[in-house]
Amino acid sequence: MRLKTLPSEFQKALPILKKIRKAGYQAYFVGGSVRDALLHRPIHDVDIATDAYPQEIKQIFTRTADIGIEHGTVLVLYQGGEYEITTFRTEDTYVDYRRPSNVSFVRSLSEDLRRRDFTINALALDEDGHVIDEFTGLSDLKQQILRAVGQPNERFKEDALRIMRGFRFAASFNFQIEKATFAAMASCASLLEKISVERSFVEFDKLLLAPYWKHGLEALIVSGAFAYLPGLENKEPELFRLIEDLPDSFVFTSSEQAWAFLLYVLNLADNQHFLRLWKVSNHFQKTVLNLLAVYSLREQNQLDEKMVYQYGRELLLIVENLREAQGLPVAFTQIETLNQKLPIRSKKEMAVNGGVLIKELGFKSGPDLGAVLDAIETAIVTGQLENSKSAIFAYLRSSRSDSSS
């Protein structure tokens, strides 16, 4: 097969291939970029494979960086672009179900393609647009099948993260997982416990954000692999509810929205503990937990200025998006109206602060002062108090007078 017109991303990188070939070596575009070009999908990263060894690549190009030279990868900076160029290689036994004990450089494209995960990723493209396919990748693309290269069990025992990548690819492309490949993913699923949580999170997160996330998640559930992911053991009914509660056309708008709804259906006693198991950032935790809090408040039909001020317009709209998908009453217009009416957006916009109250009204620093500032903030946000120094001082004098009497 030959592509009549190379995508612009490949055309920009063509001088790299030609320069390597001019030096007497082979060079090809490989992997996901070739797959995406054939599927007419956006191309994100252009990877190049060659029979030239890293030191030979460094002799061909003047500007390079050793980003993974022990695995044969050199970063080439050329004409304003950055390109990862990796030497054809074979890999020895995997010692931890993730990394090979040793990498051997070879001069054979076939040997290099043989070590890849799925047939649709084991494709190469030369500078003239010819597709090199040695493992039925083109046929599987056409039939929308996800099939492991060679023996499936070997591929997943080499790198257990490929199991999660498989479910993610199913969710991204809406491909059916080939029977033997799926069986191997299921039988090797326990190896996911050997994989770092951070890597599993990346794949699971991409799955949830994919256009066909329901398809990928169902495969993950049916395989039993979910049980080896943090906090999901014995959560099969809840995970199926995640699929059932949202329409087939629904796509999550952000990672935070996806994980918040996941937690909602899981109905856990300690949501923060679950997020910590996944080792997500504190900022991510806070956003997800705030979304859950808003979701709970909206279930109680609560919505006022204080909610909009405390959680922010963006988070409330994210929750409304979920409510709309479930056919629940929504309040997009009301949220916008309340947001526009807010007299302040944060405590920093208050006409007074702790320093002013200490200096001009004799307040003492400490918890009591904090409580006073919180009360002022609430009164301003709810429209009970004008955000001016004179109004706030009058409010405080009145409050002191009431308390003394």
Could you tell me which residues are annotated as the binding site for Mg(2+)?
45, 47
CA distance 169 to 339: 40
Buried residues in 200-210 as b, exposed as e (16+ CB within 10 A): bbebbbbbbbb
CA distance 204 to 228: 12
Annotated binding site for CTP: 32, 35, 116, 159, 162, 165, 168
**Pairing label, strands 47-50, 81-87:** parallel
CA distance 240 to 236: 6
Per-residue DSSP letter, 43: P
Helical H runs in 267-362? 271-277, 282-299, 305-311, 313-325, 332-341, 354-361
Contact 275, 285 (CB under 8 A): yes
Dihedral sign from CA coordinates of 355, 359, 365, 370 = negative
Annotated binding site for ATP: 32, 35, 116, 159, 162, 165, 168
**Pairing label, strands 145-146, 176-177:** parallel
Nearest partner of 98 among 195, 24, 12, judged by Cα: 195
DSSP 3-state of 83: strand
- Distances in Å between the Cα of 283 and the Cα atoms of 85, 260, 275, 299 are 35, 13, 11, 24
Dihedral sign from CA coordinates of 196, 198, 199, 201 = positive
Residue type, 153: N
CA distance 37 to 231: 37
Annotated binding site: 32, 35, 45, 47, 116, 159, 162, 165, 168
- Interhelix angle 282-299/255-266, nearest 10 degrees: 60
